[in-house]
Amino acid sequence: MAKLIDGKAIAAEVREQVKRDVERLERKGITPGLAVIIVGDDPASRTYVNNKKKACEQAGIYSEEYALPANTTQDELLKLVEKLNQKSDIDGILVQLPLPSGLDEHEVIRAIHPGKDVDAFHAENVGKIMIGKFQFLPCTPAGVMELLHHENISISGKHCVVIGRSNIVGKPMAMLLLHEHATVTICHSRTENLKEICKQADILVAAVGKAKFVTADMVKENAVVIDVGMNRDEDGKLCGDVDFKQVEPKASYITPVPGGVGPMTIAMLLKNTITAAKYQAGMEE
């Protein structure tokens, strides 16, 4: 029987630390500020933005929301980003993805000042992650690392398999594991012998976006299983990329969905906003 990694409880600890950091900064006359831009009315994006806003409020972080209509032009969006780059009370800028079709998200991310890029999607920040000299980390992979560290799960020398190669999760996740001396395999939709590769994993990270994709026959006995997915099953219930019921008896540690990686993503965003506030104030980390 696997030990459940309680993302809610661990995220609460991170958020408490953020709250203490905010209080320390405020004593120095600094109030961390985050601007969130949402374009259009995608319900999932709206839920994420509301959760981020609430989390900022609870941590004492000043936040501004810019809700733009779906027909916003690229030029209008870029002008708003530039305005926020110049705003002294805004330390972090987050553009909620995906953007409506017709908008170029790569250009929008490129327009955010790297020092305010709390998602760590800007090419400059991605490059820093590659060489291991980073200021910010993408929130979801950073949250996964926080879970592993919290549970004292050894990474060095282990074979880690990441299913998914997105710029947001898969690629940076592999890089962070590599920085901690893991041997890393990245799998994706064109990987041959996927099941056999996954079965070799000491730590398996599923970030593929397919409900219950990882089944028990893909998991090694006593593997650590981290489920980044957020899907709906055939009954419309929230579930991950891992078939939890099947896999849980085989794993040594497993994250549930909901309540595993999800809460960590927002906690790490708050942490990144603190880092950005210190950077804007010229303070050393």
Full pLDDT tens readout for the chain, 285 residues: 899 999 999 999 999 999 999 999 999 999 999 999 999 999 989 999 999 999 999 999 999 999 999 999 999 999 999 999 999 999 999 999 999 999 999 999 999 999 999 999 999 999 999 999 999 999 999 999 999 999 999 999 999 999 999 999 999 999 999 999 999 999 999 999 999 999 999 999 999 999 999 999 999 999 999 999 999 988 889 999 999 999 999 999 999 999 999 999 999 999 999 999 999 998 865
Q: In this predicted structure, what is the pLDDT of residue 285? A: 55
Q: Which of 115, 149, 181 represents a domain boundary (last residue)?
A: 115
- 89: containing domain: 29-115
21, 91, 117, 119: which is the annotated catalytic residue? 119
Sign of CA dihedral 152, 155, 158, 164: positive
Q: In one letter, which amino acid is 96?
A: Q
What percent helix, strand, coil does the chain show, rounded to 5?
A: 45, 15, 40
Question: Looking at residue 231, what is its pLDDT?
Answer: 93
CATH code of residue 163: 3.40.50.720
In angstroms, the CA 13 to CA 19 distance is 10
119 is catalytic: yes
Q: Which domain CATH number covers 47?
A: 3.40.50.10860
- Are 143 and 111 contained in the same domain? no
Q: Are residues 110 and 205 in the same domain?
A: no
| Cβ atoms < 10 Å from Cβ of 171 | 18
The dihedral over CA atoms of 268, 270, 273, 277, expressed in degrees to the nearest 10, equals: -120
CB atoms within 10 A of CB 194: 17
Q: Where are the alpha helices (DSSP H) in the chain?
A: 7-27, 43-59, 74-86, 105-111, 123-131, 139-150, 170-179, 194-198, 244-247, 261-280
Nearest to 224 by CA among 185, 250, 188, 243: 250
CA quadruple 37, 39, 41, 44: dihedral sign: negative
End-to-end CA distance of the chain, in Å? 40
96, 212, 220, 271: the catalytic one is 96
- Say if residue 43 is preceded by a cis peptide, omega within 30 of 0: no
Secondary structure of residue 234 in the 3-state scheme: coil
Active site residue 52: yes
28 is catalytic: no
Q: Are residues 202 and 242 in the same domain?
A: yes
Looking at the domain assignment, is residue 180 inside a domain? yes
Residues facing 183 on adjacent strands: 159
From the list 21, 52, 91, 202, the catalytic residue is 52
Residue whose C-alpha is closest to residue 56's, from 27, 38, 31: 31
- Cβ contact 89:59 at 8 Å: no
**Tally of domains in the chain:** 2
pLDDT confidence of residue 34: 98
Apex 214 CA angle, 261 and 165, nearest 5: 65
The per-residue pLDDT for 282 is 86
pLDDT at 217: 97
Does the reported pTM lie above 0.85?
yes
Q: Is residue 64 part of a domain?
A: yes
Asked if 29 contacts 281 with a C-beta cutoff of 8 angstroms, the reply is no
